[in-house]
Structure 1
Amino acid sequence: MEQLRGTGVALVTPFKADESIDWNALEKLIDHVINGGVNYVVSLGTTGETPTLSAEEKLDIMQFTFEKVNKRVPVVIGIGDYNTRDVVKRLETCPLDQAAAVLSVAPYYSKPSQEGIFQHYQAIAKASPRPVILYNVPGRTGRNMTAATTLRLAHEVENIVAMKEASGDMMQCMQIIKDKPAGFLVISGDDALALPQLACGMDGVISVAANYFAADFAEMVKTALANNFPAARNLHYKLQEAFDLMFAENNPAGIKSYLHQGGICENIFRLPVVPVSKELEAKIKASVAGFK
């Protein structure tokens, strides 16, 4: 799993004005992030608006991403849900032979107990033909996966190899880093906290910001992993305003506004996601114009 150290980018799904998938823009985005120096891409994560994609669209996006990436970097595929049996079925039937790993979000809405979360992931790991990355994002799921549950899964379930931790709880993050098994990766899911988390011992970031700021973000992570924190700190503060604006109202509305201003994709969404407010859009436009 060393190939998943560094910067991964959670790709957006570009849409045309009629809300169909914009394949040309997706190809442009893939080339942009790879040329910017990211270490791998993540397809079909939450940033890709997956709740609004049909099963057929998800399969098409996955296959298109494999084709356009063309083995230049590893590809991680997001497959998660609150219905454990449905996730298991998808893992058993999806063509995942080209995937480096599967990123699976903790079950949302139903707010299971910690034992329920453990058994959910245990079933997923058993069914998955590829290594599994846990994903804890309580701001979206409604339930935090505790450090104890993460560590139990890391130590007891062989096919679970990494954790994308997006709780924002630094004490929880440090507990996982301190007690994880050798070779288990802990990956930040919070762009704005990535630098201090890397300083604490995380192995990289799955980033939203790297969709647009691929080169600077990847360099920040690379220099931090090389223990060059003065250089990494300069890049962090260069990006700080963008972090604040990008997540001010909604993800992926913020990052798509940046990508639209940068000419990479249209500022189109499927409901219930809508574009950022005109006030925020003006700030993002000024941010893009002033970024050097």
Structure 2
Amino acid sequence: MTLTGLYVPLITPFDTTGAVALDALEALARQVLAAGATGVVALGTTGEPAALTGPERRAVLDTVARVCRERGAALLVGANTPAELDALRDRPEVVAALSLVPPFTRPGEAGVLAHFRRLAGGSPVPVVIYHVPYRTGQSLSAVALRRLAALPGVVGVKYAVGGIDEDTVALMADPPAGFAVLGGDDVFVSPLLALGAHGAILASAHVATERFVELVEAWRSGDAVRARALGHRLAELAAALFAEPNPTIVKAVLHARGVIPTAGVRLPLLPAGGETTRAALHHAEALRPAHVG
């Protein structure tokens, strides 16, 4: 099974006491799925998992898994270690783990290959590699990505290299069979979809979810005229939502819309400023369904 469609990496909402607002999380998961998302990601980097306690992470996963089970939706879970992967063993809703290329150490392509050979080899669920070199410090060539795609248990990549470069073109010119390329750069997702990406994992899709679903479907169906125009507008929205560290502005917009109880984040993140929030809200309101002709 090749993963396709739009997946929303869910934020973790907090209430006025700073606790995880599980009711708001459940409602948000239902909202994006009702808007057409294929699935969601729990405990991805957008969900601030490093700032959550162990019990909080389990509660988040329990909540999101219940929604996905009830709706028959796909659930991906951020999991980067053998222990985190093993914790997914008895969760049938989980279709794959989203596992980050080892950050900071810069092990080289051979080291990345060895890491995922071991990780995927012992995982109870398929693995989607999260490749984001401007955060991890580790670049991967198209050749290395093809080698990773050939590993048993590796089924795709969240591809977020900061643009469209030569390796992107080389990979998309002949993507490995059965290997999903999912756009992870919100601003650049439209050109990646135009090159043949199977879908996307986008924090910006918390906002204007229907429009991002429409974008993925338009490129997949070959409606380039529609996709190009919509892609330009969604790129402007994504740029506004990422004007400060993710997910601060996304949370501020959701709070302003009454979707979550606060715009709170946990350190080392700080809340988004009013000016950037207002700019993002402006772009978001312009993309409401009534404004899309």
Aligned residue number for residue 215 of structure 1: 210
Structure 2 distance, partners of 1:181, 1:166, is 18
Structure 2 distance, partners of 1:243, 1:72, is 28
Aligned residue number for residue 49 of structure 1: 48
Give the secondary structure class of the aligned counterpart of 2:23: helix
Is 1:190 aligned to residue 185 of structure 2?
yes
Structure 1 distance, partners of 2:108, 2:284, is 43
Is 1:92 aligned to residue 86 of structure 2?
yes
Give the secondary structure class of the aligned counterpart of 1:222: helix
Q: Does the 8 A contact of 2:207 with 2:284 survive in 1?
A: no
Is 1:277 aligned to residue 273 of structure 2?
yes
- How far the C-alpha of 1:130 sits from its partner, in A, is 1.0
Residue 113 of structure 1, aligned match among 105, 108, 111: 108
Q: What are structure 1's unaligned runs of at least 5 residues?
A: 81-86
- How far the C-alpha of 1:282 sits from its partner, in A, is 2.8
CA displacement 1:223-272 (0-9 Å, x = unmatched): 11000011112222332331111111111112112211221112010111
When the two structures are superposed, what TM-score results if normalisation uses the length of structure 1?
Answer: 0.92
The farther-off stretch of 200-209 and 280-289 is: 280-289
When the two structures are superposed, what TM-score results if normalisation uses the length of structure 2?
Answer: 0.92
Instruction: For 1:217, give the aligned amino acid.
Output: F
- How far the C-alpha of 1:191 sits from its partner, in A, is 1.6
Q: Does the 8 A contact of 1:189 with 1:206 survive in 2?
A: yes
Give the secondary structure class of the aligned counterpart of 2:113: helix
Aligned residue number for residue 194 of structure 2: 199
Q: What are structure 2's unaligned runs of at least 5 residues?
A: 289-293
Assess, with a 3 A threshold, how the Cα gap between structure 1 residues 101 and 112 changes in structure 2: closer, same or farther. Answer: same
Assess, with a 3 A threshold, how the Cα gap between structure 1 residues 169 and 65 changes in structure 2: closer, same or farther. Answer: same
Give the secondary structure class of the aligned counterpart of 2:155: strand
Map 1:1-292; keep pairs closer than 5 Å: 1-2=1-2, 4-69=3-68, 70-80=70-80, 87-94=81-88, 95-155=90-150, 157-170=151-164, 171-265=166-260, 266-292=262-288
Assess, with a 3 A threshold, how the Cα gap between structure 1 residues 284 and 201 changes in structure 2: closer, same or farther. Answer: closer
CA displacement 1:49-104 (0-9 Å, x = unmatched): 11111222212211111112224311111102xxxxxx112222333332111110
Structure 2 distance, partners of 1:63, 1:282, is 33
C-alpha RMSD of matched pairs (Å): 1.6
CA displacement 1:14-37 (0-9 Å, x = unmatched): 111222100111011111101110
CA displacement 1:156-207 (0-9 Å, x = unmatched): x111011111012422222222343211111110122111111111111111
Q: Does the 8 A contact of 1:32 with 1:214 survive in 2?
A: no
Assess, with a 3 A threshold, how the Cα gap between structure 1 residues 161 and 281 changes in structure 2: closer, same or farther. Answer: same
Q: Does the 8 A contact of 2:211 with 2:287 survive in 1?
A: no
- How far the C-alpha of 1:120 sits from its partner, in A, is 1.0
Structure 2 distance, partners of 1:226, 1:135, is 26
Provide the aligned length of Structure 1 versus Structure 2.
Answer: 284
Structure 2 distance, partners of 1:223, 1:10, is 21
The farther-off stretch of 181-190 and 143-152 is: 143-152
> What is the aligned-residue identity percentage?
32
Instruction: For 1:68, give the aligned amino acid.
Output: V
